[in-house]
Chain A
Amino acid sequence: MIIKHLLQIIFFNCFFCMLGYSQDTVRSLSEVNVSTFELLKMKTLEITSQSYSRNQILYSQPEDIGAILQKFSGTAVKSYGGLGGLKTVSVRGLGSHHTTFLIDGFTINNTQTGQINLGQLQTDNVENVTLSIGGRNGFLLPASSYTNGSIVSVNTFENNQSNEFFKIRYSTRIGSFGEIDNYLSTKISKKNLFLSAFGKYRQANGKYPYLLKNGTIDYKGIRNNNDLLDWYSGVTFGKFFKNDAELRIIYKTNGANQGLPGAVILYNEMANQRLSTQSQSLNLDFTQNYKKIAYRIFGTYNYDWLHYSDPFYLNNTGGISTVYINKSTQLGSSFQYKLGNKSIFFGGVESRYSELIFSTPNSAIPKRLNSFGLFGINFNREKWTSELQITVQSVLEENNSGERAVNRFKVNPFLSLENIEFGSWKWKFKAWYRNSFRMPSFNELYYNSIGNVKLKPEEANQFSVGLSIKPIDKKFDLTVVLNGFVNRVDNQILAIPTKNLFVWSMQNIGRVNTFGYESRVRIEKCFNSFWFTDLDLNYTFQYSVDVSDKKSPTYLNQVAYIPRHTGNLIYNLKRKNTGFQISTSIVSLRYSLTENSVSNQLNGIEIVDLGVFSKINFKNKQSLRIQFSVKNLLDSSYSYIRYFVMPGRNYLLTLNYAFN
């Protein structure tokens, strides 16, 4: 096994060395030219990507990245409630494991769970968030980020050099249910370097009231064991060199201690489970841009410590207290090479080594070497742009304590065709196809009796066609985007009871087909130098159904927790530095199990949020912004997951101070 690992590393590193030689060759060519960084950068593909800017974040004051993704079309967020609570996103009917998360160009991953808790990705330092489905939306991204169905890319304030020597960002929030946040970040920028340091502290008691329908009875309760205390901090250092080269070193650490309230159980309010986490990460990368070629070398080390406890679990040892340590090391390189004037060749290699240690005796000790290769070419012609990507992925598994999962080797293609904008309405079309898969997580494979080492990877095929229109009109700016898509997922991985109701196991469950469409409209109007207004509307339809077995009672039934209809409306009105935002999210009824029976239905969701804000600019480039937000204005009782009730109307007061 070790020999196989070495061969694997040698293979990918040979390619890496070859790439190094090619860079040297091209470097000599670049000396006579200025940097072509911008030319090589892939422009945003608006048909297949959606963004949320810093200003939009300030207007809506989302509690985390999940609340932003919920505003996008094509997404379905699952939230287990409360600040910091587990929150995941499904894009176009694919499970949450099919989405890659990038922060400042580095993938964040959790091999233990296979998914990212969006509830722990806060927005205080976020400059923009972009969801890309079926296209690249970044420069020299890690090869692994191309292997999934969609990419969420987050850029932070601390990650970039600024024009000012010294910058400060400070924000404080006071909200319902004992929420207190404080965030402080400073950044020093000089001609050839920048250094930033930041920290955030957040706490909440999470004791929110809820209303539950129990038959004919309205039950009013208070969410128990929902407290949260978390923090994160970090330092980023950037150094610029000749020939448009940059070195970045990022260190981050975060931790949390929170109660896990669980589902509301009728007649039993006991909730004692707790979760503590501590993580540290070190990211390094070096990027260089020449006229013809740009390349990036990067490395990441992650250490995640997680402690789960349930002191009232009815076993002989007086409860559960388990520690999980998940370590991963990542090394990779990516490049882009300009072929003539119209085409770009790009690619990358990456290896990620992960291991998980359970503190419970006789548990599995899984290790995984996951290697990625990417080769892509982007053809730009007079009227059309096309792109081909081939990703190669190998997964080598080890388990030092028991049976291991099967090693995997996969080749996945991506193909897209897009026209150049034309006509006075700036018509643009794009069609694309992606084949991808996701490996089962360590938990799915090895977790005590639930894990199943026989699991196959979940396979996904996506096909999409879309168009965007931007009619030129002097009165207002209008953008309309329409997308239709067909997805198929095979070997879907789900936890289901097997031996009896209390013995669950992870299983591959047949096939899911999704047919859907998205529509997005954005209107902006600047009345004069004082007044500005904009409106965003989106709607998504997803017919996501089980097609595993024609004889099954769930054949052609909507898959659990995938809503058939979702929609968002966001309206902003601003006069100079004062304004308000009103937004609403609508999610149609869903089913808690895939059998579409009345007893499995969950009511639809309608949430209206309101925010009013004002910003005062002081002398010396200082500003103070104050916002009062009312979340869930209509005090709706709702839940994304059955009996994981969400808070009713709640309030938030935010102060943002900025220097420079």
Chain B
Amino acid sequence: MRLINLIIILLFIVGCKKKITTEVDDSKLDSSLLKNGMLVLCEGLFQQNNASISWVDFSNISTDNLFFTNKTGRLLGDTGNDMQIYGGKIYIVVNVSSTIEVLDKSNGKSLKQISMMNGNFAKQPRSIAFYGSNAFVTCFDGYVDVIDTTSLLITKRIKVGSNPEGLTVSNSKLYVSNSGGLNTSKVDSTVSVINLISLEENEKITVGKNPGSILTDSKGNVYVIARGDYSGITSRMIRINSVSDKVETIFPFEISGMENMEDNLVLIYKSNGSSVSKIGIFDPIKEVFSTPELISSTNFTTLYGVQYRASNNKLYCFDAMSYTNSGYVKVFSSTGIFETSYHVGLNPSKLIFYE
């Protein structure tokens, strides 16, 4: 009798074995127009193919964490690194899968998947920026790829430094941070300056070890974060004058993230002696924090980034939840008051807003 019971238990387990529900019904592939919401790029985790895009609908406060799959019928891939909008198209840079997904801005439908393979060799794209009719993509193999935004074909490869990451346009030039991040103790320290007319590298500016995030402020100055070596050499924000292409200032605080906020910068930084990051507003003209602690780190499990939305003057902060749990986008007023949060996918890092 006991034996029969055991067999029944085993059969029951087989019968009850749940099937994963990631399959998407074709009928859900909709082409409805996107409005009043935001797209959230969730990077996922290395070797898990779980990069994703969440759609947050502000009108009914609903979240669809399978947005990309519902729109395209397939998965985004492994480690989404950047998502930008340009000329009616959304460009999503997927690093480990080595692809750039191009979506129609209006409805999210796939226009093209650009393979960033060089034969069997993955170029590992990281970030994207635009100028004129071209998109520029940093590739970890030491190049910036130029993509025609109409044909969506790669037209040129520009040799830069080691493991380029961020890139920004200023004064008709493209500034590319060369991290050299895959060289462990011998990381790169330079920013490549590319002439956007000739599409050639002009020079390299030495800024500090392991440069990563890079942006252009409202005055045309270029700011780059040199991340150091995560131990003895701490991170620093460096300002480059885009006219002289010289390093102007090295700011004396540890920093992990930056974002434009009108004429100011929103920084994720650590004040001297502190081990905890916070979000402050920095005046780049006066070179002081106008608001040293706008948002405290106690609001987050893992503060992973911040993005400013000019249309409603709010800050959207990313909580990566220890990097291994699904994350949140937390919304704060310009005075640092918490307003709401949205539960999204794994490691949210970029937003595109729809008004």
Give chain A's interface residues, CB within 8 Å of chain B. 213-217, 262-270, 312-317, 362, 448-449, 478, 480, 496-503, 519, 521, 523, 537, 539, 552-554, 565, 567, 569, 586, 588-589, 592-595, 597-604, 606, 642-643
Convert B31-60 into 0s and 1s, putting 1 for each residue whose CB lies closer than 8 angstroms to a CB of A.
000000000000101111110100000000
Identify the 3 closest CB pairs spanning chains A and B, nearest first. Answer: A215-B74, A497-B323, A263-B47
A residues within 8 A CB of B23?
213, 215-216
What per-residue 1/0 map shows which CB atoms of B229-256 lie under 8 Å from chain A? 0100000000000000000000000000
Interchain nearest-CB distance for B325 vs A (Å): 5
Is the Cβ of A316 less than 8 Å from the Cβ of B186? Answer: yes
Closest-by-CB residue of A relative to B48 is: A642
Residues of chain A lying within 8 A (CB to CB) of residue B182: 313-315
Q: Is the CB of A268 within 8 A of B97?
A: yes
| Contact partners of B47 in chain A: CB under 8 A | 262-263, 265, 642-643
Question: Using a Cβ cutoff of 8 Å, how many contacts connect chains A and B?
Answer: 170
Tell me, rounded to whole Å, the shortest Cβ–Cβ distance linking B76 to chain A.
Answer: 8
- Contact assessment for A599 and B50 in the assembled complex, using a CB-CB cutoff below 8 Å: yes
**B153-190: which residues lie under 8 A (CB-CB) from chain A?**
162-163, 180-186
Distance between Cα atoms of A539 and B43 in the complex (Å)? 38
A577 to B25, CA, bound (A): 53
Residues of B in contact (CB 8 Å), total 70
- Secondary structure at the B interface, as helix, strand, loop or mixed, is loop
Q: Which of B314-355 contact A (CB under 8 A)?
A: 321-326, 345-347
Q: Can you name 8 A-B pairs with beta carbons within 8 Å?
A: A265-B49, A268-B99, A312-B122, A503-B230, A519-B9, A537-B10, A589-B18, A642-B48
How far, in whole Å, are A215 and B28 apart by their CA atoms in the complex? 12
Residues of B within 8 A of A478 (CB): 3
Q: How far is the CA of A498 from the CA of B17 in the complex (A)?
A: 35
Q: Are A213 and B10 in contact (CB under 8 A)?
A: no
Min CB gap B22→A, angstroms:
7
Q: Would you call B111 an interface residue if the criterion is a C-beta within 8 Å of the partner chain's C-beta atoms?
A: no
Residues of chain A within 8 A of B324, CB atoms compared: 496-497, 593-595
| CA–CA, A586 and B154, complex, Å | 48
B24, A266: Cβ atoms closer than 8 Å: no
Q: Point out the residue from A262, A501, A523, A593 that lies within 8 Å of B325, measured CB to CB.
A: A593
Interface contact A214-B46, CB-CB below 8 Å? no
Digitize B299-326: 1 where CB-to-A-CB distance is under 8 Å, 0 elsewhere: 0000010000000000000000111111
Chain B residues within CB distance 8 Å of chain A:
2-3, 6-7, 9-10, 13-14, 17-26, 43, 45-50, 52, 65, 69, 72-75, 77-79, 94, 96-99, 113, 115, 117, 120-122, 124, 140-142, 162-163, 180-186, 230, 304, 321-326, 345-347
CB-nearest residue of chain B to A505 = B230
Q: What CA separation (Å) do A552 and B142 show in the bound complex?
A: 40
Q: A567-B10, A593-B324, A593-B325 are in contact. Are A217 and B74 (CB under 8 A)?
A: yes
Shortest Cβ distance from residue A492 to the other chain B in the assembled complex, whole angstroms: 13
CB distance from B341 to the nearest CB of A (A): 13
With A215-B22, A589-B20, A603-B19: A266-B49 Cβ-Cβ less than 8 Å:
yes
Complex Cα–Cα for A231 and B19 (A): 40
The smallest C-beta distance from B31 to any residue of chain A, in angstroms, reads 16
Known A-B contacts: A262-B47, A267-B98, A539-B13. Give 10 more (CB < 8 A).
Answer: A215-B74, A268-B77, A501-B79, A502-B181, A521-B6, A539-B10, A552-B325, A588-B17, A598-B20, A599-B50
